[in-house]
Amino acid sequence: MSDPFERTDSRVWPRPEVPVGGSWSNDGPDNPCFGCRQHGDPGLRMTFTRIEERLVECRWTPDPMFTGWATVVHGGIQATLLDEIMGATTGVQYTDPDLAIVTLGLDVRFRRPAPMGEELTIRGRLDEIDGTDHHLSAEIVAADGTVCTTATSTWRRLR
């Protein structure tokens, strides 16, 4: 059986070390990732900034296609944003070209409506590394500072 994590596309791996204050996007033209690809539709087109050693942030304004009910970002899109920021947060810890890291579990809590039509801040924090497991937390924050959605997750480094 072939390795499902073998890199055969032009995704930006290995990524050079990203210093605190540095930004990046996974903008290879063949990147299939719905969350971070910069080319093709649909996609979230997330770009990331390393705020602290273990804190990553993304500023993102929802496209109307991501509306759930009325003026609120769809809950599934919010979960994807949170999963993606936590993946970027754990992934930026490594420059290994053979890195394979996957979500083991994701717990999302919807606290307030995430509004359409304004820039949202998505933050991910690496809370703990326990062997090959990485424990993270994340949040979506509205422009007025309201925490809309929170999440925790565990990721596992496979190699």
Please give the radius of gyration of the chain, using alpha carbons only, rounded to the nearest integer.
15
Q: Are 88 and 56 in contact (CB under 8 A)?
A: yes
The class level of CATH for 23-157 reads: alpha beta
What's the pTM value of the predicted model, to 2 decimals? 0.87
* Best CA proximity match to 22, nearest among 69, 57, 46: 57
- Cα–Cα separations (whole angstroms), residue 88 to 29, 47, 66, 94: 19, 10, 21, 10
The label of the residue with tokens 């925790």 reads: 152
- Closest by Cα among 108, 113, 63, 64 to 85: 108
* pLDDT tens sequence across 2-57: 555 454 444 444 456 888 998 877 777 776 676 676 667 777 878 899 999 999 99
The pLDDT > 70 percentage for the chain reads: 84
